[in-house]
Structures are given as structure tokens and as C-alpha cells.
Structure 1
């Protein structure tokens, strides 16, 4: 059954209202006194000697294996949306979170991340080589160990949500599709681990779809990352149901657009990426300077996503506040923890 909500999506925040905050970006989170820094594409992480990990979500946005820009409030939005979902799903699956000392920061348990990325899909959608829509268009009907019927249309709801697991490629590599049999045959996970992860992922996705529907949204697909803690317990890691890890559509316009063969209306999380692609070959050419208005429009997309998903209002901070100073101040209690 397709969605029935008729709730209209909120408009983008006023770009003019965001202009005074264009400088409030957290590009780097290098904090003297915190040990074992690892700089990822988006997060700066610090491993403490007591088994805790500090994850600082910056405002960096990257694509094509290259940094593109910094988007005001992006890191805060992702952290707060993930918090919204972690707090509402902890009865379904334990997660890594221990504390939120700052709007951009999570302190969590350090985990051994499982070598399988869990993607749950409720619709025939996607554009990458590993997406089920791409494979379906190529004639495949057996995908990730699931049999899909003939006659499905792009962006059509599946009879039930399915798990489409992939390998976790190293930086610069490409994820490869897996099936349950491959996961077990290659000893990527034990049978018990696969059972636990599968049940948790489907339950998390069902709850995500339910709450999204209450807000006039469709959670079409998402990815989860799991790890094991010191006791061997499987724990949800990283983030959950954020616009960067999930595909959201607006329910109000879905049926009409589907009937017309048009793609669903969504959060344009590829706003900056699409701007770059229209002007160069991002894999070969220098990246042109991205105009301030494009950066602010991207910020507005993230703020609208936050407000729609959580139901909360995003209050803009004092323009004089420096986000890195705030992060350093809120992490003062963790300084000096060296091995």
C-alpha cells in the first residue's frame, strides 16, 4: 500500500535570514588535548583510553572523493536528527551513544565495526550501481538474494522491506553486493550475528517509516552500521535516519508524481553536488568556487529536513558565536586524556 498522507512540506527557510550566519561553519575540529585523532570525510574522531570515542560532526560536505564546501549548521543538523532517532529506537536496538556534550558532538562506546553495511529498502529506487532499481532496469530479478516480480515501476513500493547488504569498501573503493549466503560462506558474520542484525535493521526501518509517516514523509531506504562492544553485544553505530544516510520523500505528492512517472519530491541532499556536476567533470577538473548563495540554499535544505523529521524548530544561534570555540568549551572536561 502506498502512503496516504496529505500533509504539505514546509517551505525552505528564508535564505536572507541565514546570510548573517554564513561564517558560522565548523570546518575542522582539531582540539589540542584530545588524543588519537582520526579525520574522516565529515567527522573528526578522538579515541579516549577508557574505551570511549568522541565524534565531532563538522560542516564539511564531500563528493567524488573530494571536499566541496562547508555548509552552515550541517553537522549540528545531522547530529541532532540522529539523536532524535537514537532516543526513539533504543528499545529496539542498543546504540553507541553515551553523551551529547555539544550539538555537533557524540561521545560513544568504541566498537569493532562489522564488515557488512546493512541497507534496508522499501521501494524500487536508487541511482548507484548497487541500487535495486539500477539492477532491475538491467534485467535482474534476483537481487541480493531476493526475488522481485516483473512489472515493477521506478519508485514503486515493494511488497515488504528487504535488506540489501554490501561490503564495506576501503576509501576510494566500491561497495559490492552481498547475499545472506555469501555473508555466511565468507564468514563475514556468524549466523547469530546475521540474525540479530537483520531483525534489528528491519525493526528500526519499520519504526522509522511509522514515525516519518506521521510527519508527512516516506522513509524509502536507509543504511545502518553495526558494531560489537567489549562484551560482544551488537550495537548500532554512526548515525540513523539522517538525510545523509536515508532517502526521504514527501508523502503528499508521492501518488500523483508516481502516477505521472515522475521522481518523488525529496530533500535535495545532492544540491551542491548537482551544482558542481553541471559545471565540470568533478573527477578530473578543478572544482569551481561554489557561490555563497548555493551554500546557503544547501543549509536551508538541511534545516528544513531537521524541522520536518523532528518536528522541532531550529533556533539560529547568536551570529557572534564561533562553533569551534563552543565545541572546545563543551569538551573541556575530556581534555588531557592521553594514553
Structure 2
């Protein structure tokens, strides 16, 4: 699809390095700021799908930057400018090597662990007598080590993070505090839009002057799980699956087509018709999460649009 950005091979003035993740490319400009480009790549089961999803990068970038603005009174973040619908610019940071996962409901990975008979997740006890998608008495923080591209993130306890000096105890206390504050605000924003913020992950970094700030994406359908508030309790009472907003629908399609990222498995062919349904679903997610209509950016020449907007921002 010509109207998507899959590869990000820009060369900006004063560019020192570029890091390419599963979905984003991050350009270091003069060791002072980072230009983060959200591509239209789709990752599931830690595998990047061969085709891009139109508008996905714009959707993720606009949700993340909007949510950062909506939480900056609580937690400082890295963001300084949004020169293009797919681009965020911010302070250069040293990322912490943990993802702060917080869960208010026993869903996803937590539910799979629970089903396997485990009642401790990342050193945190889970009460007996819960069924999938029940609410925890209090949200629990279940950190994960941040994997390199292609590797799986791994659960880790607070105690191990501190013991292994992955994060100092002093800094980790701040990360926990920020995580709970962000999740509370995210829960309130979701509730105002008829949604339940089930679980999410936050990533943090430290600026050159030692300030801990929120980085990467926040409250997007790729980093969070949402349920619809309406009908939630009825579905639980009837032991029915919850209606959710996340990229879980892509995972389910892949599973149905015999792919879970395991050795020897081949990514199923995604037809243009299926890709359009995924794009439409992401737009639906945007409009539900943001509570506003999605405005499509001009994608007739997306590479040149992004390059031009970033160069203009950089003063070239």
C-alpha cells in the first residue's frame, strides 16, 4: 500500500544516530533532542507484519501526544513538539530498562497466569476466587524487563529490579508513584468516554539533568486494553467475553490463521480488504478513546510530507 509508511530511512541535519523499534523510529538530533516517527507497521506476538496499516502511525502518535498533554500536570514528559501527525519531538533521555505495567482487571497475561494456577505475578499476590476480567481489589503493578527487538519482555518483581540494580530504589519509588497517578488519570479519561482502562504500560526515562519523565506512547490501543463500560457487568455475570478496544482483534485473527509467532509458523497473507478493515478498526479505536472524529492526514506522499515537516521544524 503506497499510502503507508513502513520504512523510515531519513537523514536529518545534525543526526547522530537512529534507533528502529517494532513500530517507531527514533532519530537523535545533535545529542539534544529526539525525533520519534510512528510508522504504520503492525506488531503482534513480537513479530512485525509484512504490510502497513493506513493511518495507524498517525492514530498512535495523536493519542499518545494528546494523553501526554492531558497528564503533564501530574507527571513530566519528554514531549516538546508535534511537527507532523506521525511525529513527536522531545528531550533526549536515557530510558529505564523496565516497562511499568499496571493492571486493574485480571485480563490478558494476568489471566493466563491465573488460569495456569499461579497466584503471584511479578511478586504481587492475586486473590483467590477471581474469574477472567474480574476487577482486582486495587490496581497492581507488574513490571517487565524491556526486551530488545524480537525478544519477549519478561516479568520481573520490584524486589529483583532493585536487587539487580536495574533501577535504583530511589528512582523506582518515583516510577511507581508516577505509574499510579497516570493510571488514575487515564481511568478517569476513559470513564468519561464510556470506557474502562483495564491495563496499560508506561515507559520512563531520565533527562540529561537527571529528571525522570514519561516517554514513548501512553493510553494507546497498542499499549493498553480497554473495555466498554456498558454491558461490562452483564457480560461478567453471564461468563461472556468482554467487548474490548485494543489490538487483540488482530491477535485473534492471527491465532485463527495458525500464527502465534512460534518457530516454523508463517505470517498469514493479509489481503488489501483485510488491511482496510484493520485500518477502519484503528480509526474506531481512536474515536472511542479520544471522544472525537478522526481527521485523516494527506497520505498521497507520506514520506515527503513527514520529511518536509521535520526539516521545517529543525529550521531547514
TM-score, normalised by the number of residues in structure 1:
0.86
SS in 2 for 1:45: strand
Answering whether residue 313 of structure 2 is matched by residue 313 of structure 1, we say no
**1:195-206 alignment to 2 at 5 Å?**
195-206=173-184
How far apart in 2 are the matches of 1:112 and 1:254?
A: 40
Aligned twin of 1:326? 305
Count the aligned residue pairs: 311
Q: Which residue of 1 aligns with 2:41?
A: 60
Once the two structures are overlaid, the 10-residue window that deviates more, 293-302 or 36-45, is 36-45
Deviation at 1:31, TM superposition (A): 1.9
Q: Which runs of 4+ in 1 moved over 6 A?
A: none
Task: Name which of 71, 74, 94 aligns with 1:89.
Answer: 71
Match of 1:249 among 220, 223, 227: 227
| 3-state secondary structure, aligned to 2:150 | coil
With over 3 angstroms needed to count, the CA separation of the structure-2 counterparts of 1:295 and 1:207, relative to structure 1, is same
Counterpart-to-counterpart distance in 2, 1:264 and 1:273: 15
Report the alpha carbon displacement of residue 137 of structure 1 after superposing the two structures with TM. 1.9
The TM-score normalised by the length of structure 2 is 0.92
Query: CA contact under 8 A between 1:272 and 1:294: conserved in structure 2?
Result: no
Q: Is the 8 A contact 1:33 1:336 kept in 2?
A: no
The correspondence for 1:33, drawn from 12, 21, 26, is 12
Alpha carbons of structure 1 residues 268 and 117: separation in structure 2 relative to 1, 3 Å: closer
Q: Do the aligned partners of 2:4 and 2:55 also contact (CA within 8 Å) in 1? A: yes
Does structure 1 residue 49 correspond to structure 2 residue 49?
A: no
Partner of 1:271: 249
Runs of at least 5 residues in structure 2 that lack an aligned partner in the other structure? none
Query: Structure 2 CA distance, aligned partners of 1:89 and 1:240?
Result: 10
CA contact (8 A) 2:55 2:296 kept: no
CA distance in 2, matches of 1:200, 1:300: 33
Change (3 A) 1:154 1:285: closer
Q: CA deviation at 1:280?
A: 4.0
| Cα drift, residue 174 of structure 1 | 2.8
Deviation at 1:153, TM superposition (A): 1.2
Q: 1:84 to 1:194 in 2, by over 3 A?
A: same
Alignment partners' CA distance in 2, 1:323 and 1:275: 28
More divergent stretch after superposition (80-89 vs 270-279): 270-279
Shift of 1:285: 4.0
Quote the Cα distance in structure 2 between the aligned partners of 1:110 and 1:258: 44
Give the direction of change, closer, same or farther, for the CA distance of 1:67–1:147 in structure 2 (3 Å limit): closer
Distance 1:65 1:210 in 2: 30
1:112 aligns with 2:60: no
- Which residue is 1:237 aligned to? 215
Structure 1 residue 276, shift from structure 2 partner? 3.5
Please report how far the alpha carbon of residue 289 of structure 1 lies from its aligned counterpart in structure 2 after TM superposition. Answer: 2.7
**Is 1:194 matched up with 2:194?**
no
> 2: distance between equivalents of 1:293 and 1:272?
14
User: For 2:198, what is the secondary structure of its paired residue?
Assistant: strand
SS at match of 1:252: coil
Q: What is the CA distance between 1:173 and its match in structure 2?
A: 2.8
Flag structure 1 segments of 5+ consecutive residues without an equivalent: 1-21
**Contact kept in structure 2, 1:122 and 1:158, CA below 8 Å:** yes
Can you list the C-alpha shifts for 1:66-94, whole angstroms capped at 9, x where unaligned? 33120010000000001111001001110
Is this contact kept in 2: 1:272–1:295, CA < 8 A? no
Rounded to whole Å, the distance in 2 between the matches of 1:251 and 1:85 is 20
- For the residue of structure 1 that corresponds to 2:153, the secondary structure is coil
C-alpha deviation, 1:270, in angstroms: 3.5
